[in-house]
Amino acid sequence: MNFFELRTGELFAEGCTVQTLAETYGTPLYIYSRSALETAYQAYAHALGDDGMICYAVKANSNIAVLNVLARMGAGFDIVSKGELQRVLAAGGDPRRVVFSGLGKTRDELLFALQSGVHCINLESAAELEALAEVCLEHGFKAKVSLRVNPDVDAKTHPYISTGLKENKFGIDILQAPAVYRRASSFEQIEVVGIDCHIGSQLTETRPFLDAIDRLLVLIDQLAEDGISIQHLDLGGGLGVRYQDETPPTPAAYIQAIKQHLGERKLKLIFEPGRSIAANAGILVSKVEYLKPSEHKNFAIIDAAMNDMIRPSLYSAWMDLQPVKPRSDVDSKLWDAVGPVCETGDFLAKDRQLALAAGDYLALFGAGAYGFTMASNYNSRGRAAEVMVDGDSSHLIRQREDFEDMIRGEQLLP
Ligand code: LLP
């Protein structure tokens, strides 16, 4: 089902017209659909059943209203910082359903996670294990851990979002993992519960995940011989979505394939999907400020920029850009939609056939994941407002940043 669609000649977000939302809240504006978030989460949860946990990757979209919608449905969360854990708690998430990933957790962050009672800490190095053991000893905690293993498989995705190759900084080399596991189980204050990996993002095939599983299963059997029993297998996130013409498996097909591959193994499963829950639950709406056609290139100068959405600039990501109210009274042309930021790389879309006039609103699709969370104040631009639609109502879930927000904490010299 599509929660953002053209009806009666204009774009709707659930039961709200996007034009009205843009006029009411201003642009640039992120609009999220509650139903889209719920539907995407449920697809995962139903497919998994009682065999584990779906821990939404907070980094994809961390607005507390988004987290709250998911928490209400019983979602778990994958976090990578104290700040993300604080967001989960502020949103009413259950810390016992939180897994803590990330390769540079500080002692302060580890302590906060232990005090909050998270489900599991996903360790990414032998050094981090030592730090955690010290924190536990000093503060009287026992920590449940999983080791993030780098299985050295090619996720066949963009090099910047591929994470499971041995030249990537993530995880513990699979050959070193047995020694780190033995060390972990030698500590009284550490309980080994799992194994995890995350091989990359925007994967459009199941095969690399299955290859990673095969390598982890060999390791699990090896550990069993050493008397170390693994209760859960956490496959990370990474399932792709359709931005253009990609055909990733559905969450249900993906989970089914994994369950089938695991056969009779009695392992709880954890997934950490981010993009596949949030991306297509959001759009970024901008206004065409000026049109600058020329013989060589036609530029549509819009009020959203790379500071609002960096994916096209950073990964050359293609994201669909469409008018909120398609018009037929002007000729369509090839346009580059560029922002006002002083960088040649500041564009949201290139060479798109569009019929445009100044003042029109445009919607960038697939913007619900890695959009607002990667936004910055570059060029002293306040970050965009965020709105969630729920049927025919809309709620402001983050106000647009103003100048005061931007200079908060800055000081003049005495
Ligand atoms: N778990 C871990 C340990 C991760 O590092 C990530 C994403 C996820 C889960 C969620 O992965 P997802 O299901 O969203 O693919 N900014 C990039 C994506 C970076 C992903 C980083 N890690 C983009 O906009 O394409």
* β-bridge pairing 76-79 and 321-323: unpaired
Residues 90 and 116 in one domain: yes
pLDDT at residue 322, rounded to an integer: 98
Reply yes or no on whether the pLDDT at 97 is more than 70: yes
Residue identified by tokens 């990578």 is: 80
Residue 1 has pLDDT above 90, yes or no: no
Give buried/exposed letters for 359-374 (b at 16+ CB in 10 A, else e): ebbbbbbbbbbbbbeb
Residues 253 and 288 in one domain: no
In a domain, 322, yes or no: yes
Domain boundary among 218, 250, 275: 275
Which of 207, 242, 275 terminates a domain? The answer is 275
Q: Is 237 in the pocket of ligand 1 (CB under 6 A)?
A: yes
The answer on pLDDT for 156 being more than 90 is: no
Q: Which contiguous run of DSSP H or E holds residue 238?
A: none
Q: What CATH number corresponds to the domain at position 355?
A: 2.40.37.10
Select from 59, 156, 233 the residue to mutate for testing ligand 1; criterion: most ligand atoms less than 8 Å from CB. Answer: 59
Ligand 1 atom 6 nearest Cα:
237
Domain containing residue 259: CATH number: 3.20.20.10
CB atoms within 10 A of CB 61: 29
Catalytic residues: 342
412 domain residue, yes or no: no
CA separation for the pair 22, 44 (Å, rounded): 32
Residue 284 and residue 174 in one domain = no
Q: Quote the mean pLDDT of the chain.
A: 96
Per-residue confidence (pLDDT) for residue 307, from 0 to 100: 98
Task: Say what the pLDDT of residue 352 is.
Answer: 98
Domain contains 164: yes
- Asked if 350 and 251 sit in the same domain, the reply is no
Same domain, 353 and 393: yes
Does residue 208 surpass a pLDDT of 80? yes
Number of domains in the chain: 2
Q: How far apart are CA 352 and CA 337, in angstroms?
A: 8
pLDDT in tens, 176-185: 999 999 999 9
**What average pLDDT score do residues 57-86 get?**
98
For residue 104, the SS3 value is: coil
Containing structural domain, residue 375? 4-32+279-407
Percent of the chain predicted with pLDDT > 90: 94
What pLDDT score does 73 carry?
98
- Residue-wise pLDDT for 372-386, tens only, equals 999 999 999 999 999
Q: Where does a domain end: 275, 296, 313?
A: 275
Decide: 168 and 162 in contact? Cβ < 8 Å.
Answer: yes
276 lines ligand 1 (CB under 6 A): yes
Residue 414 lies in a domain: no
Other C-beta atoms lying within 10 Å of the C-beta of residue 151? 23
Tell me if 179 is assigned to some domain: yes
Strand pairing partners for 271?
54
Higher per-residue confidence, 2 vs 203: 203
Q: Is the CB of 275 under 6 A from ligand 1?
A: yes
Q: Are residues 236 and 122 part of one domain?
A: yes
pTM comes to 0.97
**Which pLDDT tens digit goes with each residue over 306-332?**
999 999 999 999 999 999 999 999 999
Q: Does any domain span residue 47? A: yes
Residue 311 CB–ligand 1 contact under 6 Å: yes
Check whether residue 237 and residue 153 sit in a common domain: yes
CB of 251 closer than 6 A to ligand 1?
no
Kindly report the protein residue whose alpha carbon is nearest to atom 23 of ligand 1. 370
Q: Is 181 marked as a binding-site residue? A: no
Residues 377 and 318 reside in one and the same domain:
yes
Is residue 413 in some structural domain? no
The answer to whether residue 188 is domain-embedded is yes
Task: State in Å: Cα 161 to ligand 1 middle.
Answer: 7
- List phi, psi (to 5°) of 280: -85, 15
Alpha helices, DSSP H, located in 117-250: 126-139, 177-186, 207-225
- Pocket mutation for ligand 1, best pick of 271, 272, 313, 314 (most atoms within 8 Å of C-beta): 272
Tokens linked to 33: 């659909």
In this structure, are 71 and 100 located in the same domain? yes
pLDDT value of position 152: 87
- 14 annotated as a binding-site residue: no
State the distance from the centre of ligand 1 to the C-alpha of 106, rounded, in angstroms.
20
154 alpha carbon to ligand 1 midpoint, in Å? 15
Same domain, 17 and 73: no
**Residue 225 assigned ligand-binding role:** no
Q: What's the rounded mean pLDDT across residues 61-86?
A: 98
Residues 247 and 303 in one domain: no
What average pLDDT score do residues 131-138 get? 98
Show Cβ contacts of residue 389 under 8 Å, excluding neighbours closer than 6 positions: 13, 14, 15, 16, 21, 31, 32, 33, 34, 395
Look-up of token digits 């010299």: 413
For residue 29, the CA-to-ligand 1 centroid distance in Å is: 23
Confidence of residue 157 (pLDDT cuts 50, 70, 90): confident
Rounded to the nearest angstrom, the distance between the alpha carbon of 10 and the centre of ligand 1 is: 32
Tell me the pLDDT tens digit for each residue of 3-50. Answer: 999 999 999 999 999 999 999 999 999 999 999 999 999 999 999 999
Residue nearest to atom 19 of ligand 1 (CA): 161
- Res. 159: pLDDT tops 90: no
Same domain? For 83 and 163 the reply is: yes
